[in-house]
């Protein structure tokens, strides 16, 4: 995934104020897309506008008035002379519409939606993702009604006060939304944005992005096989699974190396069982996938290097009470404990690693879009798409020392920083958010 | 707290920054935000302050609820302290703590176990009826609150107002009071949101807090772009129209908060300590404070009046005039945090306001 196309989105979640569950669903989406301290894209809400008497349709999504992002529009309303640096980087607006009967039947809302859909974002790409929350949702005004909706499974969305959100419905929504956003953000073979200002990227032919499943067959195949079946049966992705994907008579090394370096390989799930650490092929797969890759974006300033690390999720399938070796290549990858008795765990695992892949791509684009706004420094500056750990940083650093490392988020904790400083004395660590929050 | 001779604090170990922040759901939502945005903003405001060793004052209660930020701040301080405990402590500033000023009868809900659990992160400052100056014959025993709801309502409003004064001015009990027992004077106040109806006490809390800050020459950062009482004040500070005072008329306040009338009747029937401002007086004092900030003479006097030069200089933000104006109206949370952090560092890290 070594492209240089930048796409820094801001997300809008839209719901009708009479849809009582809307706020809670929006909050879950927010927490899903912004999982940590300063990680992930900006998320804004559109539900009410109490600055007008009608209190029906919300304020417009920025674009109509020539501003370039929500934050920029906020600043322009106030007549401000400056705005946050991050606001200047946005080039895509993704609008998630929680559609149900209240929205469908409200004429003022229908007009508002049509206006948002017909507005050219003034240089911003605008993508609509409607979500069907009851059977009337498909009666939204055109052009929204013409697109394929996210259709979460579960009962129809609750209405009225005090009803709880069905976790089944929300989990299903997050799964489908994550896949859709992956397609928007990870598809590097799609149409050139500059040629298709109006056409949605979601209209483009579907690429088949992959998830690599790394597992030790000696410990059995259950988690890996269930995950493979889930990916093929329940998602728009494919899984690389050696039993299926290494043809009889083919060289393992050639096939696996090709798969790991394929630009469509979005993420890896490593099933860490008892013998995983001692299996050479498993270690090699993880090591190869966790190898940071140097990108070559157009317009990069001298002295800045852009490094990308793929998303890895470790499924802990160790035998209780049995000792096993550590796997240093995992670094600070997310872990989930496998438990066959938990229903829907495959969905949670796959959706989580896809979300992490999405965030990895977002932080990649944010890094190289933002770097021109950051102060230059003498020596090498490494711009990472991950929160650094000693192992992965060592691989990116190589033998020539860097003077500065920029990473996602809003800053490292004291202990994280101290550990990194012990390994890499003299290097300055700064987060994108900290750098962009510095007063100009 | 029931000191014999409370004095205004004159010495503090380190700056105390008060944060008044509330989740005014409708106002925030109309601007495209929800409670998660507010929590993230709070983190981004508080973390750099406590890492600088500044203490933070937040007057929230101790009930775990989505829109109460007491535990958000406590968990943040706890994590920072734990983090610091495992790293090299040489040349490190001690992480700041929370001052939770809480008035009668609300402090009665805080049990000893809860206080002990968070004692390393928090100092609870209880402001009693006695301390607020309520005469002995009018003090309501803790166990009798339900027997005398009217007097409980009045005394709660009085102690709430007294608590806001304590936050602003701090206090030490006498000359020999160890510094760690003194209640520090406020070094700066940050306000966002704030109820304008259905509030407790004589006036909306943010009205009284901003009024006290201006009066006591305390830097005040008004984030007016996010609705509530803070927006009322921000609008008034830069309003062109001459009718800006109407927003702070007693009649307008009463329209949405009927208990103000009842509170006035109770104040007439019982005694209210002379230093406590009732609704009309408190609103007048706020208007006076806003007029002072708007006053061209005060602006031209600059430092002689304890203000910074230029328009809005009497807010003492440490920012350029245009930045202070931007802070009053920006709806960009990132920008607001950026401006507050810049201003506080400018004001407080050069020592000019650390007394």
Using H for helix, E for strand and C for coil, what is the string for chain B? CCCCCCECCCCCCCCEEEEEECCCHHHHHHCCCCHHHHHHHHHHHHHHHHHCCCEEECCCCCCCCCCCCHHHHHHHHHHHHHHHHCCCCCCCCCCCCEEEEEECCHHHHCCHHHHHHCCCCEEEEEECCCCCCCCHHHCCCHHHHHHCHHHHHHHHHHHHHHHHHHHHHCEECCCCCCHHHCECCCCEEEEECCCCCCCCCCCCHHHHHHHHHHHCCCCEEEEHHHCHHHHHHHHHHHCCCHHHHHHHCHHHHHHHCCHHHHHHHHHHHCCCCCCCCCHHHHHHHHHHHHHHHHCHHHHHHHHHHCCCCCCCHHHCCCCCHHHHHHHHHCCCHHHHHHHHHHHHHHHHCCCCCCC
B322 interaction partners in chain A (CB closer than 8 Å)? 81
Q: Chain A residue closest to B336 (CA)? A: A84
B30 interaction partners in chain A (CB closer than 8 Å)? 48-51, 58-59
Beta carbons of A74 and B322 less than 8 Å apart = no
Chain B contact present for A82, CB below 8 A: yes
**Pairwise CA distance, residues A339 & B334, whole Å:** 41
By the 8 A CB rule, do A179 and A235 touch?
yes
A74 interaction partners in chain B (CB closer than 8 Å)? 31, 225, 330-332, 335
pLDDT band at B70; cut points 50, 70, 90 = very high
Please tell me whether residue A373 adopts helix, strand or coil conformation.
helix
**Pairwise CA distance, residues A433 & A406, whole Å:** 10
CA distance A141 to chain B (A): 23
B335 interaction partners in chain A (CB closer than 8 Å)? 71, 74-75, 80, 82-84
**Pairwise CA distance, residues A372 & B47, whole Å:** 27
**Pairwise CA distance, residues A88 & B335, whole Å:** 12
Q: Chain B residue closest to A31 (CA)? A: B36
Neighbours of B71 (CB within 10 A): 15
Beta carbons of B332 and A437 less than 8 Å apart = no
Nearest Cα to Cα of residue B163 among B118, B133, B188 = B133
Token pair for B225: 């772009």
**Pairwise CA distance, residues A118 & A103, whole Å:** 18
**Pairwise CA distance, residues A331 & A311, whole Å:** 11
Token pair for A427: 């290097």
Length of chain B: 355
Q: Which of residues 291-350 of B touch A (CB under 8 A)?
A: 322, 326, 329-332, 334-335, 337-339, 341-342
pLDDT at B260 over 80: yes
CA distance A79 to chain B (A): 8
Per-residue pLDDT tens digits for A49-69: 866 545 578 888 887 544 445
Token pair for B196: 């304008």
Q: Chain B residue closest to A50 (CA)? A: B30
Q: Which of B36, B84, B337 sits opposite A437 (nearest CB)?
A: B337
**Pairwise CA distance, residues A238 & A208, whole Å:** 6
Beta carbons of B334 and A74 less than 8 Å apart = no
DSSP state for residue A132 in the 8-state scheme: E
**Pairwise CA distance, residues A58 & A355, whole Å:** 29
Q: Chain A residue closest to B331 (CA)? A: A74
| pLDDT given at position A262 | 78
Element (H, E) at A96: strand A92-99
- Lowest mean pLDDT across A100-114, B230-244, B301-315: B301-315
If you search the block for the tokens 């940083």, which residue do you land on?
A393
Token pair for B338: 């950026």
Peptide bond into B105 cis (omega under 30): yes
Roughly how many angstroms between the first and final C-alpha of chain A, as a whole number? 33
Q: Chains A, B: CB contacts under 8 A, how many? A: 105
Among B50, B326, B332, the residue to mutate for chain A (most A Cβ within 10 A) = B332
Per-residue pLDDT tens digits for B22-45: 888 888 898 899 999 999 999 999
pLDDT at A28 over 50: yes
pLDDT band at B130; cut points 50, 70, 90 = very high
Token pair for B78: 């706890």
A75 interaction partners in chain B (CB closer than 8 Å)? 326, 330-332, 335
| pLDDT given at position A159 | 53
DSSP state for residue A111 in the 8-state scheme: H
**Pairwise CA distance, residues B259 & B205, whole Å:** 15
Nearest Cα to Cα of residue B208 among B223, B224, B191, B184 = B191
Q: Which of A30, A74, A79 sits opposite B332 (nearest CB)?
A: A74
**Pairwise CA distance, residues A291 & A358, whole Å:** 18
Maximum pairwise Cα distance, chain B = 61
Neighbours of B193 (CB within 10 A): 22
pLDDT at A82 over 80: no
By the 8 A CB rule, do A237 and A211 touch?
yes
Percent of chain A with pLDDT strictly greater than 90: 37
Chain B contact present for A30, CB below 8 A: yes
Buried b (16+ CB within 10 A) or exposed e, A29-42: bbebbbeebbbbbb
pTM listed for this prediction: 0.85
B329 interaction partners in chain A (CB closer than 8 Å)? 77-80
CA distance B173 to chain A (A): 37
Neighbours of A342 (CB within 10 A): 11
**Pairwise CA distance, residues A66 & A270, whole Å:** 46
Chain B contact present for A418, CB below 8 A: yes
Q: How many angstroms separate the Cα of A433 from the Cα of each of A363, B42, B189?
A: 11, 15, 24
Q: How many angstroms separate the Cα of B94 from the Cα of each of A141, A187, B42, B44?
A: 58, 48, 20, 19
Q: What is the mean pLDDT of residues A67-76?
A: 48
B338 interaction partners in chain A (CB closer than 8 Å)? 84, 437-439
pLDDT band at A383; cut points 50, 70, 90 = very high
Burial of A117 per CB tally in 10 Å (0-12, 13-18, 19+): middle
- Beta bridge partner(s), residue A42: A10
Chain B contact present for A40, CB below 8 A: no
Chain A contact present for B67, CB below 8 A: no
Chain B contact present for A79, CB below 8 A: yes
Token pair for A309: 């690390």
Among B28, B29, B197, the residue to mutate for chain A (most A Cβ within 10 A) = B29
Chain B contact present for A194, CB below 8 A: no
Please tell me whether residue A414 adopts helix, strand or coil conformation.
helix
pLDDT band at B326; cut points 50, 70, 90 = very high
| pLDDT given at position A188 | 55
More confident residue, B147 or A250: B147
**Pairwise CA distance, residues B252 & B204, whole Å:** 12
pLDDT at A83 over 80: no
Q: What is the ipTM of this complex?
A: 0.80
């Amino acid at each position: 995934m070594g492209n240089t196309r930048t796409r820094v989105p801001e997300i809008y979640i839209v719901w009708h104020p009479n849809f009582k569950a809307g706020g809670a669903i929006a909050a879950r989406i927010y927490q899903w897309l912004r999982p940590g301290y300063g990680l992930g894209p900006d998320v804004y809400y559109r539900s009410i506008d109490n600055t007008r008497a009608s209190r029906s349709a919300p304020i417009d999504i920025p674009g109509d008035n020539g501003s370039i992002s929500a934050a920029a529009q906020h600043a322009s309303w106030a007549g401000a002379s400056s705005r946050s640096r991050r606001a200047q980087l946005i080039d895509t607006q993704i609008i998630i519409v929680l559609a149900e009967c209240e929205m469908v039947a409200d004429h003022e809302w229908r007009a508002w939606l049509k206006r948002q859909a017909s507005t050219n974002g003034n240089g911003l790409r605008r993508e609509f993702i409607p979500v069907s929350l009851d059977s009337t949702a498909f009666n939204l005004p055109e052009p929204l009604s013409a697109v394929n909706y996210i259709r979460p499974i579960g009962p129809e969305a609750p209405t009225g006060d005090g009803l709880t959100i069905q976790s089944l419905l929300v989990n299903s929504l997050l799964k489908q939304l994550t896949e859709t956003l992956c397609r928007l953000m990870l598809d590097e073979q799609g149409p050139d944005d500059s040629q298709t200002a109006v056409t949605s990227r979601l209209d483009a032919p579907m690429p088949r992005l992959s998830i690599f499943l790394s597992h030790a067959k000696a410990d059995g195949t259950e988690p890996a096989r269930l995950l493979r079946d889930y990916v093929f049966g329940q998602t728009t992705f494919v899984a690389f699974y050696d039993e299926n994907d290494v043809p009889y008579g083919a060289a393992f090394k050639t096939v696996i190396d090709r798969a790991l370096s394929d630009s469509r390989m979005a993420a890896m799930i490593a099933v860490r069982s008892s013998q995983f650490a001692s299996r050479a092929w498993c270690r090699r797969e993880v090591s190869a996938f966790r190898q940071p890759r140097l990108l070559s974006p157009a317009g990069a300033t001298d002295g800045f290097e852009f490094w990308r690390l793929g998303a890895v999720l470790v499924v802990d399938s160790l035998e209780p009470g049995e000792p096993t070796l550590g796997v240093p290549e995992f670094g600070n990858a997310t872990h989930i404990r496998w438990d066959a008795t938990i229903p829907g765990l495959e969905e949670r695992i796959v959706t989580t690693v896809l979300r992490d892949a999405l965030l990895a791509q977002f932080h990649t684009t944010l890094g190289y879009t933002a770097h021109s706004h950051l102060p230059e420094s003498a020596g090498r500056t490494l711009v990472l798409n991950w929160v650094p750990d000693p192992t992965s940083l060592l691989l990116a650093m190589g033998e020539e020392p860097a003077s500065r490392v920029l990473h996602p988020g809003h800053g490292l904790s004291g202990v994280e920083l101290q550990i990194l400083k012990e390994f890499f004395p003299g290097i300055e660590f700064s987060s994108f958010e900290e750098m962009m929050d510095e007063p100009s | 707290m029931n000191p014999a001779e409370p004095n205004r604090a004159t010495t503090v170990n380190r700056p105390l920054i008060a944060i008044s922040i509330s989740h005014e759901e409708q106002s925030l939502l109309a601007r495209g935000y929800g409670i998660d945005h507010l929590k993230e903003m709070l983190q981004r405001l508080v973390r750099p302050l406590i890492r600088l060793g500044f203490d933070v004052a937040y007057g929230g209660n101790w009930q775990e609820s989505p829109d109460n930020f007491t535990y958000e701040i406590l968990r943040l301080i706890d994590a920072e302290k734990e983090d610091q405990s495992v790293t090299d402590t040489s040349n490190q500033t001690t992480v700041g703590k929370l001052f939770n000023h809480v008035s009668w009868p609300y402090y009665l809900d805080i049990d000893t176990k809860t206080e002990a659990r968070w004692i390393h992160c928090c100092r609870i400052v209880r402001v009693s009826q006695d301390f607020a100056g309520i005469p002995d014959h009018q003090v309501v025993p803790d166990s009798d609150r339900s027997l005398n709801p009217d007097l409980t309502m009045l005394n709660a409003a009085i102690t709430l107002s007294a608590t806001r004064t304590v936050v602003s001015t701090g206090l030490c009990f006498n000359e020999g009071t160890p510094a760690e027992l003194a209640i520090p004077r406020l070094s700066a106040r940050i306000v966002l949101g704030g109820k304008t109806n259905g509030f407790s006490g004589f006036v909306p809390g943010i009205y009284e807090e901003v009024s006290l800050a201006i009066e006591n020459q305390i830097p005040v950062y008004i984030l007016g772009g996010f609705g509530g009482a803070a927006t009322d004040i921000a609008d008034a500070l830069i309003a062109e129209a001459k009718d800006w005072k109407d927003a702070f008329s007693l009649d307008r306040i009463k329209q949405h908060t009927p208990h103000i009338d009842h509170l006035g009747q109770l104040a007439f029937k019982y005694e209210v300590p002379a230093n406590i401002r009732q609704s009309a007086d408190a609103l007048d004092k706020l208007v006076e404070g806003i007029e002072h900030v708007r006053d061209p003479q005060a602006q031209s006097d600059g430092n002689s009046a304890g203000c910074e030069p230029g328009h809005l200089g009497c807010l003492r933000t440490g920012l350029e005039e245009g930045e202070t104006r931007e802070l009053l109206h920006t709806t960009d949370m990132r920008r607001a945090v950026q401006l507050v952090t810049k201003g506080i560092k400018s004001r407080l890290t050069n020592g000019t306001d650390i007394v």
